[in-house]
């Protein structure tokens, strides 16, 4: 049995406009790389080799540490692990940085212990890592980070995660403006009550998006990529948001919204060329405000977390 393993865990886009906390998909890039080694003694030791400061190294404060410990308690194992994090997804970017790490941690431990649990069963443990990162154990990043593809969290209690059918030729344009929005802060600004008329609109859009993805109906997908509840509040945290969104849609994107809690913005596109044009158009709008940004263009990742090649 192996004693050490290198894992790749992908970035993810959560919410996907209308599906706050319930919809997400995985990207082919970027992703985090984590090396996990079995130790002789119990306990999780964490090393960070990335330039990103402020990543807690105490296991009980770290997303990976908490996710792995929850998993180990569940399977009643006291195996110890040494974890070396090479983060390529910047924390606070809105593309599932903490989720990728948590996914890698539980997947790696499960592999090194000869897979007592199935991949689908790992989501419930990785979620606990999110609680440390932002105060809420949402699964719309960890579920696609683990399973790949486009995922619906139908229910949290009990956890019910559904893989959705989707057109595999979809391309995603991501623009990451170099400002930081902490998920914890972006959750605090949300209203806790919504109007029934807004809920009705949102339900229609979620169902429309799921149906559009299954039928490969691009016009229905485009009509459904609308968020009347979360985006109007959170877009205020992203300078120039309305212009960035308009630029992506004018460049031919099916739709555009905030990725997770932001500040990254995603656009769903029918071709690689449209995704390229949309990302350049979005970058220009941020540049007009003297905000640098990083572009990621990618298809939807079908595998999720995996052993690194
Ligand atoms: N659903 C979460 C939120 C995702 O929007 O707060 C965070 O990436």
Q: Does an H or E element contain 32, and which?
A: strand 23-39
Contact 15, 227 (CB under 8 A): yes
Q: Is 208 in the pocket of ligand 1 (CB under 6 A)?
A: no
Instruction: Quote the pLDDT of residue 49.
Output: 87
Q: Residue 42 has which token pair? A: 């119990």
Catalytic hit among 12, 63, 70, 130: 130
Where does the chain hold its CATH 3.30.230.10 domain(s)? 4-164+302-307
Q: Output the CA 184–ligand 1 centroid distance in Å.
A: 9
Q: Output the CA 161–ligand 1 centroid distance in Å.
A: 16
Instruction: Quote the pLDDT of residue 267.
Output: 98
Domain at 171-299, CATH from 3.10.20.600, 1.20.150.20, 3.30.70.890, 1.10.3720.10: 3.30.70.890
In degrees, to the nearest 5, what angle opens at C-alpha 182 toward C-alphas 54 and 128? 80
> What pLDDT tens digit does each residue of the chain (309 aa) get?
679 999 999 999 999 999 999 999 999 999 999 999 999 999 999 998 887 777 888 999 999 999 999 999 999 999 999 999 988 898 889 999 999 999 999 999 999 999 999 999 999 999 999 988 888 899 999 999 999 999 999 999 999 999 999 999 999 999 999 998 888 899 999 999 999 999 999 999 999 999 999 999 999 999 999 999 999 999 999 999 999 999 999 999 999 999 999 999 999 999 999 999 999 999 999 999 999 999 999 999 999 999 997
In degrees, to the nearest 5, what angle opens at C-alpha 239 toward C-alphas 138 and 261? 5
Q: Does an H or E element contain 207, and which?
A: helix 196-215
Neighbouring residues of 188: CB distance < 8 A, sequence distance ≥ 6: none
Q: pTM of the entire structure? A: 0.96
Rounded Cα gap, residues 68 and 64, in angstroms = 6
CATH match of 4-164+302-307 with 3.30.230.10: yes
Q: Output the CA 301–ligand 1 centroid distance in Å.
A: 19
Q: Is 98 in the pocket of ligand 1 (CB under 6 A)?
A: no
Mean of the per-residue pLDDT values for the chain? Answer: 95
Q: Residue 121 has which token pair? A: 């069963």
Where does the chain hold its CATH 3.30.70.890 domain(s)? 171-299
pLDDT digits (tens, 9 = 90+) for 76-107: 999 999 999 988 898 889 999 999 999 999 99
Q: Residue 152 has which token pair? A: 């619906």
Q: Is 140 in the pocket of ligand 1 (CB under 6 A)?
A: yes
């Amino acid at each position: 049995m192996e004693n050490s393993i290198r894992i790749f865990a992908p970035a993810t886009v959560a919410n996907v406009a209308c599906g706050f906390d319930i919809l997400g998909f995985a990207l082919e890039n970027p992703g985090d790389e984590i090396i996990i080694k079995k130790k002789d003694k119990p306990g999780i030791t964490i090393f960070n080799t990335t330039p990103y400061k402020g990543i807690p190294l105490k296991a009980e404060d770290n997303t990976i540490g908490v996710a792995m410990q929850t998993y180990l308690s569940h399977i009643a194992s006291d195996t110890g692990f040494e974890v070396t994090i090479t983060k390529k997804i910047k924390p606070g970017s809105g593309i599932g940085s903490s989720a990728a790490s948590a996914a890698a941690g539980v997947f790696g431990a499960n592999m090194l212990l000869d897979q007592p649990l199935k991949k689908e069963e790992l989501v419930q443990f990785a979620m606990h890592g999110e609680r440390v990162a932002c105060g809420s154990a949402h699964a719309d990043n960890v579920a696609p980070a683990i399973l790949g593809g486009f995922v619906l969290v139908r229910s949290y209690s009990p956890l019910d995660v559904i893989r959705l059918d989707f057109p595999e030729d979809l391309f995603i344009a991501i623009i990451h403006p170099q400002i930081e929005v902490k998920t914890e802060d972006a959750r605090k600004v949300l209203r806790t009550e919504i109007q029934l008329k807004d809920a009705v609109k949102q339900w229609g859009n979620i169902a429309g998006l799921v149906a559009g993805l299954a039928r490969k109906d691009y016009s229905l997908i485009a009509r459904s990529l609308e968020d009347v509840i979360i985006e109007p509040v959170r877009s205020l945290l992203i300078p120039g948001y309305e212009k960035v969104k308009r630029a992506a849609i004018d460049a031919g994107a099916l739709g555009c919204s905030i990725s997770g809690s932001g500040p990254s913005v995603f656009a769903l596109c029918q071709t690689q060329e449209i995704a390229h044009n949309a990302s350049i158009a979005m970058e220009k709008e941020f540049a007009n405000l003297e905000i640098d940004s990083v572009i990621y263009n990618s298809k939807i990742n079908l595998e999720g977390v995996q052993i690194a090649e």
